[in-house]
Amino acid sequence: MGREVVQVRGLVPLAPEVVWSVVRDFCGAWHPWIATMTEERGPQGARIRTFTVAGEDTVYREQQTYLSDSDRVLGYTHLEGIRDCEAYDARITVSSAEVGGSVVNWTATVRAPATRLTGICDGTKAVFEAGIAALASATARNVQPAEKTTPAPVETLIFDDLPRLALTVTEGRQPQSPGTLCLFLHGIGGGRSNWLPQLQAAGSTMQAAALDLRGYGDSTLGPRQSTVDDYCADILRVAERLGAKRLVLVGLSYGSWIATSFAMRHPEMLAGLVLSGGCTGMSEAGPDEREAFRVSREVPMDAGQVPADFAPAVVKVLAGPDASHETRQQLFDSMAAIPAATYRDALSCFTNPLERFDFAKLTMPVLMMTGEHDRLAPPAEIRAVAGRIWDAAPRPDVRFEVIPGAGHVCNVEKPEAYNRHLLSFLRRLP
């Protein structure tokens, strides 16, 4: 079996945002060779295009595997149509050209028998060249405005078994996704109230709930030091009590690490996974780094302080440079409300991960977001993790976005931008 990379790079005399508005339309028939085009959805909601080419009877099918409006990157894979093709993964990027206009870089990695490899690659190169040439006369496409949603009413639920778990839940169940629950998991310095704008927005699509993790808010700690398996058990308990057969987990920082840990254990239960402000946590850190992380945060408490005492310093790290006074106050209030015992419990759990993640287990659609000014999970780091998931997942469906102007707690700082990406993701799930 042979393998070859086809790469075509071209200059287009149009602004990147104009070119990208065309290219990102995966199921748009903008390529001049397209005769017919229809859109389908895969079993997990992935976008699939089925098309024919002028002068041919062959039906081709391709699936979108990666999308980033922030980076202007689109990835897709071949499903059927190219004879004897073992694998075909393509990627198209649009960036600014130094001389003005745009640079379009279109690549494909092709695997096929040696007798067919050259023919497939030559055909691919011709397709890419014709597509880039056509973009020179492209017309900007209007981006659909975000749908306005009516905030879903919410109520508080308390599960009194030990440990006690507190949730804010949307009232009623939405018809689009019966039996599916969108569950929000907060960060190590947060609480379920951080998710209210997202909870009310997601409630227009499916039943949604925000959970106070063990020891936070109105939830209580368990009888022993918490582990990530305990958190996963709590998620299963919530799903059972709310009658959910499938879950969309939405995490922020510590909550993203817990959500990914759950995905490693129960991928079959997840309809989708939304990871913001982090993903791997301490799972890929060495023992020295983990210990330094834990000790640096326990030193103030060993000196007799509680989270409320060092919350101002934490907010300086978490908040973006343009965060409003109200946002900073909300971040402070969340941190100040955490009992010292809870914070120690979470730090110990976070710095004693049970495994290194195997991204090949992520069989569900994944949306990754981080703030432009996130110091703890900077865009370069999360972009790299999104790329690793794209490489490792058996049939990837990954989206990566940067929230402009936001710091670490991007859902709190920029709720409108966060909700726009979140709702786009939720609404295309089956």
In the predicted structure, residue 145 carries a pLDDT above the cut 90: no
CA 32/CA 102 separation, integer angstroms? 19
In the predicted structure, residue 177 carries a pLDDT above the cut 70: no
CA 341/CA 333 separation, integer angstroms? 17
- 255-282 in b/e burial notation, b at 16+ Cβ within 10 A? bbbbbbbbbbbbeebbbbbbbbbbbbbb
pLDDT at residue 144, rounded to an integer: 66
pLDDT at residue 164, rounded to an integer: 98
Mean pLDDT is lowest, of 86-95, 176-185, 201-210, for 176-185
pLDDT at residue 150, rounded to an integer: 86
Placement of tokens 């960036």 in the chain: 95
CA 28/CA 67 separation, integer angstroms? 15
pLDDT at residue 298, rounded to an integer: 86
Give the distance, in angstroms, between the CA of residue 84 and the centroid of all CA atoms in the same chain: 34
Percentage of residues of the chain with pLDDT beyond 70: 97
CA 272/CA 217 separation, integer angstroms? 26
Placement of tokens 């990102």 in the chain: 24
pLDDT, tens digit, for every residue of 42-84? 999 999 999 999 999 999 999 999 999 999 999 999 999 999 9
Cα–Cα nearest to 82, from 48, 124, 115, 41: 124
- Are the C-beta atoms of 331 and 412 separated by less than 8 Å? yes
Mean pLDDT is lowest, of 141-145, 290-294, 387-391, for 141-145
pLDDT, tens digit, for every residue of 400-425? 999 999 999 999 999 999 999 999 99
106-122: average pLDDT: 97
The per-residue DSSP string of 142-164 comes to: PPPPPPP-PPPPEEEEEE-SSSP
- Are the C-beta atoms of 300 and 398 separated by less than 8 Å? no
214-222: average pLDDT: 98
SS3 194: helix
Please indicate whether residue 5 or residue 285 has the higher confidence score (pLDDT). 5
Provide the token pair at 186: 């907060």
- 218-242 in b/e burial notation, b at 16+ Cβ within 10 A? ebbbbeeebbbebbbebbbebbeeb
H helix intervals, 154-218: 196-202
Placement of tokens 């049970």 in the chain: 354
CA 270/CA 264 separation, integer angstroms? 10
Domains of the chain, first to last: 2-135 (3.30.530.20), 154-427 (3.40.50.1820)
Average pLDDT of the chain? 94
In the predicted structure, residue 175 carries a pLDDT above the cut 60: no
In the predicted structure, residue 28 carries a pLDDT above the cut 80: yes
In the predicted structure, residue 174 carries a pLDDT above the cut 60: no
pLDDT, tens digit, for every residue of 272-319? 999 999 999 889 888 888 888 888 888 889 999 999 999 999 999 999
CA 117/CA 83 separation, integer angstroms? 10
pLDDT, tens digit, for every residue of 334-384? 999 999 999 999 999 999 998 999 999 999 999 999 999 999 999 999 999
Identity at 351, one-letter amino acid code: T
pLDDT at residue 141, rounded to an integer: 81
Please indicate whether residue 285 or residue 203 has the higher confidence score (pLDDT). 203
Cα pseudo-dihedral 348, 352, 358, 362, rounded to 10: -20
pLDDT at residue 172, rounded to an integer: 61
Q: Phi-psi region for residue 69, left (φ > 0), alpha (ψ -120 to 50) or beta?
A: alpha
CA 303/CA 326 separation, integer angstroms? 30
CA 132/CA 129 separation, integer angstroms? 5
Close Cβ partners of 152 (under 8 Å, ≥ 6 residues apart) = 170, 171, 199, 200, 201, 202, 203, 204, 208
In the predicted structure, residue 146 carries a pLDDT above the cut 80: no
pLDDT at residue 259, rounded to an integer: 98
Confidence label for 138 from pLDDT (cuts 50, 70 and 90) = confident
- Are the C-beta atoms of 260 and 280 separated by less than 8 Å? yes
pLDDT at residue 81, rounded to an integer: 97
Confidence label for 143 from pLDDT (cuts 50, 70 and 90) = low
pLDDT at residue 290, rounded to an integer: 87
Percentage of residues of the chain with pLDDT beyond 90: 87
